[in-house]
């Protein structure tokens, strides 16, 4: 997905490209050639639609090799002349560095250090401590780590396809940017991304990421179940799942037969829709039950008042929200992407939420980087002006 700023400065989606991803399994690259071909094909389609040439990109990363942990860092706000002073941006950077100073295995790397909240002189729950006068500053953070080899292989695929990687963004974090409102994050919400090889969950508590988890099961397993139990090809099972799949009995309006072409000239095979539902529902129920077990173990400051939001390709399955609500025992909705200029209605589907989120999050981070650069330049300019004024005063007084 390609986005650019229009003449009014608003972000606008100008290109979308889609290609079959056969080189990934459970979020990990297992076939480099197939993966880089898919990347190149998808970006080429998006380039044709947008009329722009892509040289670099923000890449999503996920899968069972991604892990999250909560940590805390503490620093003293130093000032040799005063017992306390205003907290500055450099203090924020130092306390985040302190919170991220964890020992991790050599085969893993840091992906994100996401601030949750700050504690200023033992006063907690502060979102932005800049300019607050203090002596002591603490930061509560959620740290995301991933497999070093997994990340390096993905970078290699993207580079060989002819593009540079600006940086990685956690896929569930990107999807959350596209489908969650700030109110939902503040109230507490669990984002569940129903992917092909994995199901990933990101829990927000008090407006910030609190817990990350991955289940090594997704839509691919559902398709495999249909294929094996009904003795049909994987492609046919996938088509049946998309066109006639359901996992909630009250929504199954009729029990018509699905006509499946026979293999090798054999006679056609009729499969009742209720039989397909009896295959899909237990697998989806098992996946949601595994996620619920992990959610029940969390020590949250408050219940998840905003419930669960489903996204990813599996969220398009008929009855999936009703089944999830029954398992989680809380409100569940399917997350359609927030309104963005240039985004056609067909691309607001949960299937594209992670790609849209990468554009939105990438734009925010680029803007943040420019602002910090301009702030640093402004600070250097102020320092230079002060020095010049002192020199002028010195020349007038003594020369």
Segment (H or E) for 164: strand 164-170
Check residue 145 and give its pLDDT.
93
66 CB-near residues (< 8 Å, 6+ apart):
27, 111, 144, 145, 146, 147, 170, 200, 212, 214
Give the right CATH number for 170-362 from 3.30.420.40, 1.10.287.3510, 3.30.1330.10, 1.20.1260.10. 3.30.420.40
67-146 CATH pick, 1.10.150.530, 3.30.1490.110, 3.65.10.10, 1.10.10.10:
3.30.1490.110
Phi, psi (deg, nearest 5) at residue 214: -135, 135
Distance (Å, rounded) from C-alpha 134 to C-alpha 124?
13
Q: How far apart are alpha carbons 63 and 172 in whole angstroms? A: 10
- How far is Cα 25 from Cα 14, in angstroms, rounded to an integer? 29
Q: Are 280 and 241 in contact (CB under 8 A)?
A: yes
Which residues touch 58 (CB under 8 Å, ≥6 apart)?
A: 165, 166, 167, 168, 169, 358, 359, 361, 362, 365
Residue 255's pLDDT is what? 80
**All structural domains of the chain with their residue ranges:** 67-146, 170-362
> Using CA atoms, how far apart are residues 272 and 281, in angstroms rounded to an integer?
15
Residue owning tokens 């390709």? 313
Output the pLDDT for position 17. Answer: 94
pLDDT score for 386: 46
pLDDT tens, the chain, 399 aa long: 999 988 888 899 999 999 988 888 877 888 889 999 999 999 999 999 999 999 999 999 998 889 999 999 999 987 667 777 889 999 999 999 999 888 888 889 999 899 999 999 999 989 999 999 999 999 999 999 999 998 999 999 999 999 999 999 999 999 999 999 999 999 999 999 999 889 999 999 999 999 999 998 899 999 999 999 988 888 899 999 998 899 999 998 888 888 887 776 677 788 899 999 999 999 999 999 999 999 999 988 889 999 999 999 999 999 999 999 999 999 999 998 888 888 888 888 999 999 999 999 999 888 776 655 554 444 444 444 545 555 565 455 555
């Amino acid at each position: 997905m390609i986005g650019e700023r229009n003449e009014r400065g608003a972000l606008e989606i100008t290109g979308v490209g889609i290609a079959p991803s056969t080189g990934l399994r459970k979020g990990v690259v297992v076939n480099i050639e197939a993966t880089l071909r898919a990347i190149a094909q998808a970006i080429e389609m998006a380039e044709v639609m947008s009329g722009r040439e892509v040289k670099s990109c923000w890449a999503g990363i996920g899968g069972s090799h991604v892990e999250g942990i909560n940590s805390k860092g503490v620093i003293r706000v130093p000032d040799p002349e005063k017992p306390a002073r205003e907290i500055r941006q450099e203090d924020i950077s130092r306390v985040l560095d302190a919170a991220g100073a964890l020992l991790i295995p050599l085969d893993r790397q840091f992906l994100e250090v996401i601030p949750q909240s700050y504690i200023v002189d033992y006063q907690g729950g502060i979102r932005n401590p800049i300019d607050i006068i203090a002596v002591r500053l603490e930061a509560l953070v959620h740290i995301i780590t991933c497999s070093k080899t997994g990340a390096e292989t993905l970078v290699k695929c993207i580079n060989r396809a002819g593009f540079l990687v600006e940086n990685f963004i956690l896929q569930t974090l990107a999807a959350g940017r596209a489908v969650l409102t700030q109110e939902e994050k503040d109230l507490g919400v669990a984002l569940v991304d129903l992917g092909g090889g994995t199901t990933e969950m990101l829990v927000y508590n008090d407006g910030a990421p609190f817990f990350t988890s991955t289940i090594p099961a997704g839509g691919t397993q559902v398709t495999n179940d249909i294929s094996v139990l009904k003795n049909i090809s994987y492609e046919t099972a996938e088509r049946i799942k998309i066109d006639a799949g359901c996992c909630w009995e009250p929504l199954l309006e009729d029990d018509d037969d699905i006509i499946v072409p026979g293999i090798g000239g054999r006679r056609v095979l009729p499969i009742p829709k209720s039989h397909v539902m009896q295959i899909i529902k237990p697998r989806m129920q098992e996946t949601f039950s595994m996620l619920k077990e992990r959610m029940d173990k969390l020590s949250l400051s408050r219940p998840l008042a905003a419930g669960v939001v489903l996204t990813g390709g599996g969220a398009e399955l008929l009855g999936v929200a009703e089944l999830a609500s029954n398992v989680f025992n809380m409100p569940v909705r399917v997350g359609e992407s927030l309104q963005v200029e240039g985004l056609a209605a067909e691309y607001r589907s949960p299937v594209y939420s992670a790609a849209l989120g990468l554009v939105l999050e990438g734009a925010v981070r680029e803007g943040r980087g420019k602002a910090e650069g301009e702030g640093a330049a402004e600070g250097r300019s102020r320092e230079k002006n002060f020095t010049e004024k002192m020199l002028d005063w010195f020349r007038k007084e003594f020369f």
